[in-house]
Amino acid sequence: MTRQQRDLYPPIEPRESGMLRLDDLHTMYWEVSGAADGQPVVFLHGGPGAGASADHRRFFDPRHYRIVVFDQRGAGRSRPLGETRDNTTQHLIADMELLRRHLDIERWLVFGGSWGSTLALAYAEAHPERVTALILRGIFLCRSAEIDWFLYGMRKLFPEAWERFAGFIPAAEQGDLLTAYHRRLLDPDPGIHMPAARAWSTYEGACSTLLPSPETVAAFGEERMALGLARLEAHYFRNRVFLRENQLLDEIGRIHDIPGAIVQGRYDAVCPIQNAHDLRKAWPKSHYTVVPDAGHSAMEPGVRRALVSAAERFKNVA
């Protein structure tokens, strides 16, 4: 296997980590691994609300990159878990700037998949001077049709998973699944919000890989992952992700000169390839890779190889 074709790098541990106070309510987990004075790269996890994992450090050469990973407010190890108050796209952009300054980083490569691609684009359009390059995977542009596809359209490809997802809600409420789930997910009683969270989260997990992956579904059903993911996705979807319709494409001119890579699984059911196609047309300078035998997950073999290759290409980009 050549350097450009390699799979993930070996597991590594953080060199430093901490909890960054964001405001009176939220505290954010962050960590840094890899080269102490290396090229800065920041990893943006999906969801919203999914949280980051140890494998997310492994997309980057630890001898070259200073690898920043953090859990967005309300997600993963950040506290409070699943908190929707003071939690918007604009808050997350401001959090990234606070973390960048906290770590004394002038500019960084921004890497994000799924919701992470949304946040990466929104951040880059707000602060293009802080971004050296973008690596995006499983593109989600937050348009109304994309949210509706998640809630109803995926049944065309995953009818069994969708029936379990919709069937959790009484038939009389299934015409507005988002409202029905949102009400249950924000209920303070764990006996109400946790079953709803697992139903929502495992639906997404079941639709995220090209071939069935019980391990992926089980990971999505884990309590911290399920609660953060389901509650924050419902919150953001209810608010149309706190962005104007088509905002990310309308403002793409702000990043036209930033180097970029788009990696998309051909059979991504969660964030269909049309999204990536539309982004590529609006951003023709980006490098576009369609992985022919992959779904949505970053851990699909072809997707992870393409992402590592993109990180290799952007070594030393200034």
297 a catalytic residue: no
Q: What was the pLDDT predicted at 2?
A: 42
Cα radius of gyration rounded to whole Å, the chain: 18
26, 33, 45, 114: the active-site residue: 114
Which is catalytic among the residues 193, 296, 297, 309? 296
3-class DSSP assignment, residue 264 = strand
Residue 6: predicted pLDDT? 63
- Which residue out of 117, 268, 286, 297 is catalytically annotated? 268
Whether the ω angle into residue 48 lies within 30 degrees of 0, i.e. cis, is: yes
Per-residue pLDDT, 316: 85
State how beta strands 108-113 and 65-70 pair: unpaired
- Ordered per-residue pLDDT tens for the chain, 318 residues: 344 446 899 999 999 999 999 999 999 999 999 999 999 999 999 999 999 999 999 999 999 999 999 999 999 999 999 999 999 999 999 999 999 999 999 999 999 999 999 999 999 999 999 999 999 999 999 999 999 999 999 999 999 999 999 999 999 999 999 999 999 999 999 999 999 999 999 999 999 999 999 999 999 999 999 999 999 999 999 999 999 999 999 999 999 999 999 999 999 999 999 999 999 999 999 999 999 999 999 999 999 999 999 999 999 887
Could you tell me the domains of the chain?
A: 3-142+242-313 (3.40.50.1820), 145-241 (no CATH)
List all residues 6 or more positions away from 35 whose beta carbon is below 8 Å from its beta carbon. Answer: 62, 63, 64, 65, 66
Per the annotation, the verdict on 235 as an active-site residue is no
- Which amino acid type is present at position 76? G
Q: How far apart are CA 200 and CA 195, in angstroms?
A: 9
Question: Which residue matches tokens 């992952």?
Answer: 225
pTM of the model: 0.96
Q: Is 33 a catalytic residue?
A: no
